């Protein structure tokens, strides 16, 4: 996954609106957006990175090529909205993350 991203030279995340980022699984702190973002992890096969234990974190376990259930999406949106209201950036990621 990291090798594929390095070879393709794609960014590890993209800002989709102010303070909300989408990208791939962050292998290190330098792969996170700025501002110690809250993290919404949409993977179920990858471990939470120990370097990011201080970041607010919500896991919406989702297998590749599948979508979360509507109630899981609604819950994640409410969680992200609370973080944004606190002026905390939000980073949503899946395994590979095509920003």
pLDDT at 1 over 60: no
The CA R_g of the chain, rounded to the nearest whole Å, is 13
Examine residue 48 and state whether it is found in any structural domain, yes or no: yes
Examine residue 7 and state whether it is found in any structural domain, yes or no: yes
Whether 75 contacts 24, CB under 8 Å? no
User: How far is residue 21's CA from residue 19's CA, in Å, rounded to a whole number?
Assistant: 7
Examine residue 10 and state whether it is found in any structural domain, yes or no: yes
Examine residue 99 and state whether it is found in any structural domain, yes or no: no
Q: Which domain holds residue 61?
A: 2-94
Examine residue 12 and state whether it is found in any structural domain, yes or no: yes
Q: What is the pLDDT of residues 10-69, one digit of tens each?
A: 788 999 999 999 999 888 898 899 999 999 999 988 888 888 889 999 999 998 888 899
Comparison of pLDDT for 71 and 66, the residue scoring more = 71
- Whole-model pTM: value is 0.86
Examine residue 82 and state whether it is found in any structural domain, yes or no: yes
Examine residue 74 and state whether it is found in any structural domain, yes or no: yes
Examine residue 60 and state whether it is found in any structural domain, yes or no: yes
- CATH number of 71's domain: 3.90.190.10
pLDDT of residue 33: 96
Mean pLDDT of 63-91: 95
Domain count, the chain: 1
pLDDT of residue 91: 97
């Amino acid at each position: 996954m990291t090798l594929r991203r390095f070879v393709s030279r794609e960014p590890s995340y993209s800002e989709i609106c102010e303070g909300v980022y989408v990208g791939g699984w962050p292998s290190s702190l330098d792969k996170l957006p700025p501002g110690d973002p809250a993290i919404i992890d949409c993977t179920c096969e990858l471990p939470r990175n120990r370097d990011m234990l201080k970041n607010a974190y919500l896991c919406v376990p989702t297998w590749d090529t599948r979508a979360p259930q509507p109630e899981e999406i609604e819950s994640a949106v409410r969680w992200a909205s609370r973080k944004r209201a606190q002026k905390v950036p939000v980073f949503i990621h899946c395994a590979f993350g095509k920003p």
